[in-house]
Amino acid sequence: MPEPVPAPILELQDLEVSYGAVQVLWGISLSVSKGQVVCIIGPNGAGKTTTLNAIIGVLKPTRGRIILEGQDIAGLPPHQRVQRHIALVPEGRHLWPGMSVEDNLMMGAFPPAFRPRVAHNLEGVYGMFPRLKERRHQLAGTLSGGEQQMCALGRGLMAEPHLLLLDEPSLGLAPILVDEIFQFVAEIVKHGVTILLVAQNIDYALQVSDYGYVMETGHIVLQGASDMLLNNQHVQQAYLGGSIEEPGAYPASQPAQG
C-alpha cells in the first residue's frame, strides 16, 4: 500500500494582496504538508516575501484564506499567529545589534506562553548552533554574517514553531556559508519543524526541499516535486542558466496558474 500523504499544516487558498491600489498577489494557492520543506522560488519582485508577510500577518490579504493546522488565521493579528506556533525568519535577519546574542534569542520567546520554557528552548538552540553559545554574551552586531543568520534562525526556533517561514536565509553570504546555512535547514526539519522557504538561490532551495512553487509577477506559474523542477526546461533556462529537452514539471492534475 502507498504511504499516506501527510496532512497539510498550511494551505493558502486564492490569496490576493495589494499595496494600496497596486495588486501584488493574484489568487495564490499552495499547500505545505507536515514534515516537508517547501520552497517558493522566482525573480526579484515576484511576490515571494509578500506571501510570507501575509502568512505571518504583517500584510492583510484583500481576498483568500490562510489555513494553519485546519483553522483560518487570515483575520488574526501577528502575535496571535506566533502563539499558534508559526514563526518568520525575515530577509536581512533584523537582529538588535546592540543587544547580546542571548538577549536576541530570548526575544523569540517574548510571548508569555513561551516564557516558562525559555531556558529549555535556549539549550536546544545552543545544541544546534554551538557557536551561538560561545558568543552568547557578544553583541549581535559584531557577529559575522553567517553567525547573524544562525542567531536569526535560533530566535525563530525559540517560538517553538510547528511551521517556520524562512525568507532568503542565504542572502549576502559567502558560498561556503550558504552551504552551512542550508545544512542547518535540513537539520531543523529533523527536529520536527516544517519549513516554507523563500530563496533566490534556486539550486540550493530545490536540493533541500521536497516540493516547489515558481512565482512570477504575483502568480504561481509552475509547481512540482523539487527534483522535477530541477530538471524542468523553464526553470533551467530562466534561473539555472541551462537548457534541456525534458518536458515541464506541471502536475497532470494541476496545471500551472497565471
The 86-89 sheet, strands edge to edge: 86-89, 163-167, 194-198, 37-41, 211-216, 219-225
Q: What pLDDT was estimated at residue 76?
A: 95
Q: What pLDDT was estimated at residue 248?
A: 38
Average pLDDT for residues 26-30, to the nearest whole number?
97
Q: What pLDDT was estimated at residue 112?
A: 84
**Residue 70 in this model has a pLDDT that exceeds 80:** yes
Q: What pLDDT was estimated at residue 2?
A: 53
Residue 11 to residue 8: CA distance in whole angstroms: 7
**Cα separations (Å) of 210 from 41, 197, 207, 229?**
13, 11, 8, 10
Name the more confident of 132 and 237.
Answer: 132
Average pLDDT for residues 131-148, to the nearest whole number?
95
Burial label, 224 (beta-carbon count in 10 A; 0-12, 13-18, 19+): buried
Average pLDDT for residues 182-202, to the nearest whole number?
92
Residue 196 to residue 213: CA distance in whole angstroms: 11
**Residue 143 in this model has a pLDDT that exceeds 50:** yes
Average pLDDT for residues 57-83, to the nearest whole number?
95
CB contact set of 239 (below 8 Å; sequence gap of 6+): 41, 43, 202
Q: What pLDDT was estimated at residue 3?
A: 60
Residue 173 to residue 68: CA distance in whole angstroms: 32
Taking the CA of residue 245 as centre, how many other CA atoms within 13 Å lie in the half-sphere pointing to its CB? Answer: 0
Average pLDDT for residues 196-206, to the nearest whole number?
91
**Residue 238 in this model has a pLDDT that exceeds 60:** yes
Q: What pLDDT was estimated at residue 239?
A: 85
**Residue 41 in this model has a pLDDT that exceeds 50:** yes
**Residue 144 in this model has a pLDDT that exceeds 80:** yes
Average pLDDT for residues 174-197, to the nearest whole number?
92
Domains and their CATH numbers in the chain: 1-85+161-250 (3.40.50.300), 94-160 (no CATH)
| Mean pLDDT, rounded, of the chain | 89
Backbone angles phi, psi at 194, to 5 degrees: -85, 145
**Residue 64 in this model has a pLDDT that exceeds 50:** yes
Q: pTM for this one?
A: 0.88
